Chain A
Amino acid sequence: MSRSIDIKLRVNGENVSATVPARLNLVDFLREELCLTGSHVGCEHGVCGACTLTVDGDTVRGCLMLAAQANGKEITTIEGLADSGQSTALQAAFTKRNALQCGFCTPGMLASALGYVNAGGAADRDAIRQHISGNYCRCTGYQSIVDAICDVIEETRT
């Protein structure tokens, strides 16, 4: 239980070395050890999507991966997406459409949306609704989020 593991990884473009408890999950490591509190913890079992982030370019649940498994990986959190400009268009569209209220689901929602947009997803409302169904939002009616994602796809492909 108390076994520790040495890891080296890149987080938002910076090299990180740490010794972590074997049982520590990735999102807790990012939040507690690196103070990257933009990734949120909603359910701790991969259902709500609030901890969604990017690992080697793949969209991943930060609560379903151990910090130890991130050894050698490239992690991008919401802070990294924002600072690098990758999520600028989505941020603008979410703001314009009021596609967030309390903002707790928002970093994960944005990461999922970015995965959809970057994969060449269509501005198809049903497909977008399917794609973001792994991200719970308890405040909006989801409609404004779908609108915002459609806006970004339509703006970047015209």
Chain B
Amino acid sequence: MTGPAHIFDKPNRYIGKPEPRADAARLLQGRGRFVDDEKLPRMVHAAFVRSPHAHAKILSIDTEDARTSTGVIAIYTGADLAEHVTPYVGTLTHMAGLRSAPQHPLAMDVARWQGEPIVMVVATSRALAEDACELVDVDYDELPAAVDSETALDADTPVIHPEFGSNLAWERDVIAGDIDAAFAAPGVHVVEREFRFGRHTGVTLESRGTLCDYDPSEDQLTVYYSGQAPHMMQVIFSKHLGLPEENVRVISNDVGGSFGIKIHTYGDEIATAAAAKLLRRPVKFIADRFESFVTDIHARDHIVKAKMGITGAGTIVGIDFDDLTGIGPFSMYPRTSAIECNQVLNLTGAPYVMENYRAKGRVVFQNKTLMCQYRAVGHPIAMAIADGLLEDAARKIGMDPVALRELNLMADDSYPRTSATGMKLDDLSHKRALRKLTEIMDYQGLRADQTEARKDGIYRGIGFVSMVEVTNPSPMFYGIGGAPIASQDGATLRLDAGGALHVSSSITEQGQGTNAILAQVAAGVFGVDLNRVKVTTGDTATTPYGGGTWASRGAGIGGEAMLLAAQALKDQVLEVAGVMLQTGVEKLDIRDGAVTDLEGNERLPLADLARTVYYRGNELPNDLNPELIATRHYRVTDFPFVFTNGAMAAHVEVDTATGFVKVLHFWAVEDCGRVINPLLVDEQIRGGVVQGIGGALYEECHYSPDGQFMNATMADYMVPMASEMPDITIAHIETPTKTSVLGAKGAGEAGTGGAPAAILNAVNDALSPMGASIWQMPMTPERILTVLDKAAE
């Protein structure tokens, strides 16, 4: 299906233009509305007593002193809230064999990670609630902890959920072709590496938080929620608090970063809603930074043993790997914590033609913070395995890594096709992306510089990644498995009496520019000036029903719904105009806020049309019933996901005396289909790259052997700062997806998915003259010095 050309080419189109965001002004003047900015009458505040142990039996809880502390309104234990909140289990039916135990908002008999909420204190201020938390006496019997994923399945490791008999949450094997025969064939070289990907977390600058208000007169729960999926949370609050779905309203105003962190069920937030219901008044909970570190979902934590076979001429014959990943003591509800491992199994090597593939994934429980879907779920792992091995193989057979990719990347004219793992692929441009990348970075020039610099003892490296990204997911992602997560999204446009558009959408804004691109699509397709479009998102009471913004789906799915709705409204308006002007609709268009003829000559301002319809309907024929409002929904039907592709490169310098890595420059060529707003998408990709660099070089949740999170402060957990980040050059190839008229694919996670592999390859390229290589992220100075020392021995 190809869209009518005029949507993208007509004079007042906005799709493809670098329009600044309308809501920037508000945020720049300190007029944002984040959850903690909301205040309600009779509002009280929650704080939590959290487990200081990774694994402990709760023997007793004494709240007597706390109850008499100044300002205390109520105190709840796990047992107290269990009477009002049904437990939840993070499994999905399409993740065969996945198991997890029931979770309660507050731990019941056993605490299973450091930071798990145990007791909730509600008081007239957060400070007073914290004072009272100090007076709660919890008697624990500390239990041995299962911390290390590598020993989680050993016989002498404590089993976190005894009813399961082991700490195995899920496993899956993917096999294609005959990998053993392929590796054993004559002339095939096999490279083998063990990759270690540390735990890191999202560190949204606005911590998690919620303000819950309950009105018993209408049995109505209103939740101000810093998150990405209001309708999903509506179902969860309804189901587990025993409220009719329609009596739960979830509102997301400004959200201070999310990145997949704020899309899950957190016990402290559920407890806050329960407390609001029990106290019949508003209760606010805003996580402090320590609480964020120990309770926000973590990500990655993979150990991968991987091999790639390659012929002397450079043909990849296959990949074989074993992925072990630790997810904490429960699978997160409702999206589950097996999705990341599943993505690694599905996506590794997806850009390359490959006959043979064998992958084993095991997901294990541990006494650490829960792990779940953070930006670019599984992608950094999958891309680092395939492209890390590819560049290792290139060194082994003495071939340039770009030439080796050229040889093995799927041809741009070979789609539709499937990957070795059976993923349906279409509309990709790996080879064009790689060629554009080597041009814009001046690859040959950098190689020459590298050679010269080495003579002076300066070790620079160039590393690449060719990647795919899962975007625009269909119902096959979550809905099929029973999760209350919409895969379709809706958009509504209403023409108001003054000729302006009020539009609403079920996708959400967390800074990506969702509202801006919705306005661009609406204005351009319908035909009004951009500043005459007002956008509402993030409210279950006022927007169409849908999934929200995650998995790089907002522009592709929500944008298409808006396009279809704008087209529908235009058709309705032209029908009315045709009657009013006594002209066939085929001779009319809408441009710049007026009905025009096809040459663009104004025939009827939209305000005149709308005022006639709304105020002076007597002037219209009785059989004309104008609907100046239109709603359309959209979902992806023919594919499980709409894949995008990209090619990225990093240029680094490694100080071999200190082990420090300086990223000199980074380039990303991204094919996210039709670009709706390059100004927004470019910086979003840069931000993604920076988070990817964070995971590759700095960010790690350090745990002690007994499960204590050692660096849970902003000072000790290192996120990238401006001074250590490079300038990042972005370029696009636009291969619109054929699954929609708009043709937009997602772009939000590409940088985070691809950058770690490019940085890994660049560091290893820099280290290659010393015969050293590193396969652990983050690549800290200490770890780099260790591999250099080892190579020197």
Question: What is the interface of chain A, defined by CB distance below 8 A to chain B?
Answer: 1-2, 21, 23-24, 31, 35-45, 47-48, 50, 77-79, 82, 87, 90-91, 94-107, 110, 125-126, 128-130, 132-133, 135-146
Contact = CB atoms under 8 A, between A and B. Distances in A.
B205 A48 contact: yes
Interface string B707-719: 0000001110001
Interface stretch (B233-241, B388-396, B608-616, B722-730): B722-730
Contact of A138 (B680, B691, B728): B691
B26 to A, nearest CB: 8
Given A98-B680, A129-B725, A145-B722, A104 B28 contact: no
A103 B30 CA distance: 9
A147 to B, nearest CB: 9
B510 interface: yes
Interface residues of B, number: 60
B722 A101 contact: no
Contacts of B26: 103
A87 B28 contact: yes
Contacts of B684: 101, 139
A102 B205 contact: yes
Contacts, number: 183
Given A45-B714, A141-B686, A142-B722, A40 B24 contact: no
A76 B36 CA distance: 21
B70 interface: yes
B788 interface: no
B444 interface: no
Contacts of A90: 28
B313 interface: no
* Chain B CB within 10 A, most for which of A125, A132, A142: A142
B447 interface: no
B256 A40 contact: yes
Nearest to B717: A47
B24 A140 contact: no
A-B CB proximity, top 8 nearest: A38-B30, A141-B686, A103-B27, A104-B256, A102-B511, A101-B511, A78-B30, A82-B29
A126 to B, nearest CB: 8
Given A43-B289, A45-B713, A91-B25, A136 B511 contact: no
Given A98-B24, A102-B258, 14 more contacts: A37-B36, A98-B513, A102-B256, A104-B205, A104-B254, A104-B256, A129-B722, A130-B723, A138-B687, A140-B687, A140-B690, A142-B686, A143-B727, A146-B722
A78 B714 CA distance: 23
Nearest to A46: B715
Contacts of A142: 686, 690, 720, 722, 725
Nearest to A87: B28
A37 B259 contact: no
Contact of B715 (A37, A45, A128, A138): A45
Kindly name the residue among B256, B513, B684 whose own CB sees the greatest number of chain A CB atoms within 10 A.
Answer: B256
Given A139-B687, A143-B683, A143-B727, A103 B715 contact: no
A144 B684 CA distance: 10
Contact of A102 (B257, B713, B723): B257
Interface centre among A47, A101, A107 (most CB of B within 10 A): A101
Contacts of B29: 38, 78-79, 82, 91
A42 B254 contact: no
Contacts of A24: 127
Nearest to B33: A37
B257 A98 contact: no
A141 B714 contact: no
A133 B687 contact: no
A108 B751 CA distance: 25
Contacts of A43: 289, 713-715
Contact of A107 (B25, B30, B288): B30
A100 B207 contact: no
7 contacts: A37-B37, A45-B289, A101-B257, A103-B254, A129-B725, A135-B722, A138-B202
A67 B246 CA distance: 43
Nearest to A128: B722
Contact of A133 (B256, B691, B722): B722
B738 interface: no
B36 A41 contact: yes
Contacts of A126: 723
Nearest to A146: B722
Given A132-B722, A136-B719, A105 B28 contact: no
Contacts of B127: 21, 23-24
Contacts of A146: 722
A50 B30 CA distance: 11
A101 B24 CA distance: 8
B205 A137 contact: yes
B689 interface: yes
A39 B203 CA distance: 18
Contacts of A23: 127
Contacts of A133: 721-724
B482 to A, nearest CB: 31
Nearest to A107: B30
Nearest to B256: A104
Interface string B1-44: 00000000000000000001101111111111010110100000
A79 B30 contact: yes
A100 B714 contact: no
Contact of A95 (B28, B722, B727): B28
Contacts of A125: 727
A106 to B, nearest CB: 5
Contacts of A144: 683, 686
A89 to B, nearest CB: 11
A94 B205 CA distance: 19
A138 B32 CA distance: 17
Task: Give the one of B202, B206, B510, B724 with max A CB within 10 A.
Answer: B206
